[in-house]
Amino acid sequence: MNLRAVFASCLSAILFLAAYTKFTSFWQFTLVLRDFKFIPNWMIAPIAQGVVIIELVVATSLLIPKVRRRALLCAAGLAALFLGYNVLRLALRLPGVCSCFPGILALSPASAALLDGGMIIAALVAARQIREQIPVNLRRIPGR
């Protein structure tokens, strides 16, 4: 197992844990989204469900070597979404800490934003290092 696979496995575990925490405290997660006041009430539950599903899909995909590069890019996008969330919390001066991992890790918005930025950089660097496993030779396409 190479270093990128270990990193992807660790990132996968983080995303599985975050999805599990959001799923088991779903009501609290919807209340956090409601605090922003710019998401219409009818969209809060579908957005919360979507975030949990996307985290599960990306976490699972990180464990599959053939799609790991794309999963790392998706993880970077997901971390960018979380970074935006934390920057918005800072800008709006919303109280509270990031509670994706209650009891394990409680971060201020600034600390969570730094962590998200680090996840973005690490995922992009790891994705850049993985070469696509599917060789493409356009000269040998049948019927061409």
Condensed to tens digits (0 to 9), the pLDDT of residues 50-107 reads: 999 999 999 999 999 889 888 988 888 888 888 887 787 778 777 665 655 555 556 6
Identify which of 82, 75, 51, 77 has the alpha carbon closest to the alpha carbon of residue 61.
75
Q: When comparing pLDDT for 33 and 52, which is higher?
A: 52
Alpha helix segments (H runs only) across the chain: 3-24, 26-34, 41-61, 68-92, 109-129
Q: When comparing pLDDT for 114 and 100, which is higher?
A: 114
For residue 103, the enclosing domain spans 3-131
Rounded to 5 degrees, what angle do the CA atoms 123, 127, 13 make? 45
Q: Does residue 74 form part of some domain?
A: yes
Q: Does residue 136 form part of some domain?
A: no
- Name the percent of the chain lying above pLDDT 90: 19
Q: What's the rounded Cα separation, in Å, for the pair 94 and 88? A: 8
pTM of the model: 0.75
* Number of domains present in the structure of the chain: 1
